[in-house]
Chains A and B, each alone.
Chain A
Amino acid sequence: MAAHDSPTSTAGLRRPGRQVPLWLQGSSLLVSLLALLPVVFIVAISIQTGWNTVVQLVFRPRVAELLLNTSLLVILTVPLCTLLGVTLAWLTERSTLPARGCWRMLAVAPLAVPAFVHSYAWISLLPAFNGVSAAVLLSVIAYTPFIYLPVSAALRRMDPALEDSAASLGLTPLAVFRRVTLPQLKLAIWGGGLLVSLHLLAEYGLYAMLRFDTFTTAIFDQFQSSFNGPAANMLAGVLALCCLGLLWLEAGTRGNARYARLGSGSARQMTPARLGAWTVPALLLCLLSGVLSLGVPLITLGHWLWKGGIEAWQNDSLWPALQQTVLLGLLGAVLTVLAAVPLAWLSVRAVSRLQRLQESCNYITSALPGIVTALALVTITIHYARPLYQTIVTILLAYLLMFLPRALVSLRAGIAQAPAELEQAAGSLGSTPGQALRRVTLPLAAPGAAAGLAMVFLAISNELTATLLLAPNGTRTLATGFWAMTSEIDYMMAAPYALLMVLLSLPLTWLLHDHSKRSAGR
């Protein structure tokens, strides 16, 4: 999700060849082919729909309106998120701001509140809150941590020697920040910005509640009115193109400059910049962002919980929803991590062009909004794989496709920590490569796997759109239950669902906070 620090060490690189077990190659290829399903679906359905209908459905004023809304959202939100994220990161990592640890926690904390719970909190407080300004404000609140996390981690890892040299050559502190620090943050900002943009394109609940129409909300409206009709599919096609466009834009502008420090020894501790007279405004900024991003949800949630009292908890759909959420989350997480093992292992131990290609297949699909993947799977299973239709297998497959990279990132970091020499030793003692993987590498990679499990579990437990479309008959999760209640504007009965989702998300927030601390070597 955030803080992608991919191990680029080539120490464990193994000569590609016969040593790579065939089943590993095969299963990773299978997963990657599955990942292509949504893209294939969109291409196939466009061909099947016929050019004239496609033109009719794509080139119409409504699509222009949605395109405008969606671009406006991205263009306004991403810079604001970046500004706020970088400022908060600099203040909490590099300045003499009092109680920095506390502000650090607070900057990550909004992640514990699912985006559609943010909008629930605001809309039940200010019913007239809607439109583009509301959408941008809440998006900034909900998604700034995606920029804050990688930027603060990069700031902590940075070697102060560069900045010192720049200063000694006569640059003012501001110029040092602009010409030395900021370029080193570029990768973190670009990565975080991409993540934020993709979330903006994929989010449904947040914007539906604020009455701000994006492609995702329009696809959902079409789905409600016509199931997987051609209009819904074509909107999904345009949305998928937007996502691919963003990926391409990020890859094209990211640049390939290297920012690693050279030479041996470890970096010196940074001396924090004195804030002086700026201390008070800085504190106020941190406080304001904390109040908006955490205060408002907690206060409104508390209000509705108090008003609903014990009765709201005696709702007999609540506990089964919790149970099903946990089950789906566990199954999905285990499955996703297992599916990620071959890919992760290959990406650390046997880098090849095929493996790179497979990895990008998975990244592209996970960049697609859940509604696109879900539409694809509904259509494919209903027509070509009926035994899987409306079964738990299909929804788990959707989760797998959507969240695989989250497992991959953690798992890869874990496997990189298990040196290849250990596997070779196991081999020399008579283990097959498969046995070596199971007995040596996997146990060592267990912490990475656990982190991946947690990430995927929590992504699943807050997932709304794919779950609404694909869940087996009679299934209700916390997210869909919460959505049903808020659609009826029954804010009181919705509150327990929201609270349970927040409680489930707390461990992830803690994990991310902790992870970014450790990746900086503290």
Chain B
Amino acid sequence: MSRPFARITTTLLVSALFATTAHAAPSADGIVVYNAQHESLTKSWVEGFTKETGIKVTVRNGSDSEMGNQIVQEGAASPADVFLTENSPAMVLVDNAKLLAPLSPATTAQVDPAFRPAHGRWVGIAARSTVFVYNKNRLTPKELPKSMLDLAKPEWKGRWGAAPAGADFQAIVSALLEQKGEAATLAWLKAMKTNAQPYKGNSVVMKAVNASQIDGGVIYHYYYFGDQNKTGENSKNTALHYFKQQDPGAFVSISGGGVLASSKHKEEAQAFLKWITGKGGQNILRTENSFEYAVGQGAQSNPKLVPLKDLDAPKIDASRLNSRKTVELMTQAGLL
């Protein structure tokens, strides 16, 4: 009886080990992408890229600041070849640690100069706009806040929501910090702690607005379009308010992509970034259901979106956005 028991155990162990290593370990010729972008969008990019080039891509999913800090700690031995973010601050964090390799000029040239830093160590791969999503039955256009900063006023207490733990909202705060300075930002965040309902995720904020639990919320534009494109069940009572007038709430955030200096597959990694900023990758932004803005030279965004040039976004140097300071201030305000 002892023999079969031992044999079964050994067989199980050995076969499981083989199967797992075969599964989890990235193949020698492929690249590893640390992805903080939406999983579905990156999946479409990866599929298109692999189909065209035959290069395998292993994706690790996470969120902006988590992975940015992770890469910094991993340092020169990071397993990642490429880093994709939803917003710029995490990219800046990695760049400040001198961990990014210069991108090939062919790649940077493909991207509209408004959506990439001049130094060329990372580029924009997509863009998203801050919006105030509101419940049409509870707010008339006249009652809407004129500025995102108005949400700190007492009359908004308990009436709005956001997802403070998410990278998106933190990017909006980092832009506020860059625009208005530390003291004003901390004051606004403290008011937010009193006034706002915290949610886990932007789609949950929109769902709560739709269900009249709150009057409005600060999120990005594409959650609305994505839901409208599906069943609309989480957005049918809502509409989007664009702050415009270069308000902090009109911030347009750049999703970034970069190749790590430590990458052992630089050629493939560069090819991947070239592909997603090129025709194939940017086309996916227009035709598929991500509803993020395209940033390639001359690339068209989804026609359902309000054109980028009409958004009157504040002019902010994306390479100066500071994620650590932002998280510090939010921790100080008790939001984290």
Chain A residues within CB distance 8 Å of chain B: 57, 60-62, 65, 127-128, 208-209, 211, 213, 218, 220-229, 231, 320, 323-324, 327-328, 330-331, 334-335, 338, 382-383, 386, 389-390, 392, 438-440, 442-443, 446, 472-475, 484, 487-489
Contact = CB atoms under 8 A, between A and B. Distances in A.
B16 A222 contact: no
B185 interface: no
A225 B170 contact: yes
Contact of B336 (A218, A327, A338, A489): A218
B195 interface: no
B21 A487 contact: no
A225 B73 contact: no
B83 to A, nearest CB: 13
A474 B20 contact: no
Contacts of A440: 2
B183 interface: no
B252 interface: no
Interface stretch (B54-62, B152-160, B270-278): B54-62
B5 A446 contact: yes
Contact of B70 (A227, A335, A446, A489): A227
Contacts of A472: 24-25
A398 B316 CA distance: 43
Contact of B65 (A224, A335, A474): A224
Nearest to A395: B24
Contacts of B164: 221
B165 A487 contact: no
A328 B200 CA distance: 28
A65 B334 contact: yes
B73 A228 contact: yes
A170 to B, nearest CB: 56
Contact of A487 (B6, B79, B200, B332): B200
A210 B267 CA distance: 45
A327 B68 CA distance: 30
Interface of A, helix, strand, loop or mixed by DSSP: helix
A488 B38 CA distance: 10
Interface stretch (B104-112, B201-209, B304-312): B201-209
Interface of B: 1-2, 5-6, 9, 12-13, 16-17, 19-21, 23-26, 32, 39, 58-63, 65-70, 73-74, 77, 79, 164-167, 170, 197-201, 203-204, 207-208, 211, 213, 234, 324, 327, 330-332, 334, 336
Contacts of A320: 23
A223 B167 CA distance: 11
Contacts of A229: 69, 327
A128 B66 contact: no
A224 B90 CA distance: 11
19 contacts: A127-B211, A208-B200, A211-B197, A221-B164, A225-B63, A226-B324, A226-B327, A227-B69, A228-B69, A324-B24, A327-B19, A331-B17, A334-B13, A335-B13, A382-B73, A389-B79, A390-B79, A474-B59, A484-B39
Given A224-B166, A484-B39, A386 B12 contact: no
Contact of B69 (A62, A127, A226, A443): A226
B220 to A, nearest CB: 13
Given A211-B198, A231-B336, A489-B203, A473 B60 contact: yes
A489 B207 contact: yes
B65 to A, nearest CB: 5
A57 B334 CA distance: 11
Contact of A127 (B6, B26, B208, B330): B208
B336 A225 contact: yes
Given A60-B332, A227-B67, 4 more contacts: A227-B68, A334-B12, A392-B20, A473-B58
Contacts of B58: 473-474
Contact of A128 (B73, B199, B213): B213
A330 B16 contact: yes
Contacts of A386: 77
B60 A382 contact: no
Given A61-B334, A474-B26, A484-B61, A224 B66 contact: yes
Contacts of A443: 1-2, 5
A128 B199 CA distance: 12
Contact of A225 (B207, B208, B213, B327): B327
The 7 A-B residue pairs with the shortest CB-CB distance in the complex, in nearest-first order: A227-B69, A221-B165, A62-B334, A472-B24, A474-B58, A443-B1, A473-B60
A194 to B, nearest CB: 29
B252 to A, nearest CB: 22
B24 A475 contact: yes
Nearest to B234: A489
A444 B186 CA distance: 65
Nearest to B211: A127
Nearest to A473: B60
Contacts of A442: 2, 5
B20 A327 contact: yes
A409 B24 CA distance: 32
Nearest to B19: A327
A220 B164 CA distance: 12
A521 B200 CA distance: 48
A215 B175 CA distance: 29
A213 B26 CA distance: 36
B20 A328 contact: yes
Contacts of B23: 320, 323-324, 327, 474-475
Contacts of A208: 200
Contacts of A487: 200-201, 203
A205 to B, nearest CB: 10
A26 B275 CA distance: 55
Most buried by B among A227, A228, A382: A227
A378 to B, nearest CB: 8
A225 B12 contact: no
A195 to B, nearest CB: 27
A323 B23 CA distance: 10
B13 A62 contact: no
Contacts of A62: 331, 334, 336
A184 to B, nearest CB: 38
B79 A473 contact: yes
B24 A223 contact: no
A203 to B, nearest CB: 14
Contacts of B204: 489
B18 to A, nearest CB: 10
A474 B167 contact: no
Contact of B32 (A228, A335, A473): A473
B24 A473 contact: yes
B171 to A, nearest CB: 11
Nearest to A320: B23
